[in-house]
Amino acid sequence: MPRTDARVFGRGLNNNFHLAGYSLAGKAGFRLYVLKRLFLIAETKAGYITLPDILLRNEQPERANQNIFFGKKWVQWALILILVTDISTAEPSTFEDARI
């Protein structure tokens, strides 16, 4: 439950904890390997937020409400690079030769 020092038209609130509403969200995605180390990631996320009891002032309790739907989706290509297979078996001279 977040708490903030909000100011509306220059007037602040008492900052007591107050439950203004709730939210519900879901996420789903997949990973598709095209080659051994090349893959495609796709993901989607959606949700709903309802805030039926937002406090605006203290003097005379003014309240507001708000409903929010949101969604996002993205697709990404990725490549796995293996720089060193096993560092414990690598020879120390290999790393010294690679220094600049």
CA dihedral 18, 13, 57, 69 (to 10 degrees): -50
Residue 9 placed within a domain: no
Residue 51 placed within a domain: yes
Q: Considering the entire predicted model, what is its pTM?
A: 0.58
Residue 93 placed within a domain: no
Predicted confidence (pLDDT) per residue in 14-38, tens digit? 666 778 899 999 999 999 999 888 9
Q: Domain tally for the chain? A: 1
* Residue owning tokens 């690679």: 98
Predicted confidence (pLDDT) per residue in 88-99, tens digit? 665 555 545 544
Residue 50 placed within a domain: yes
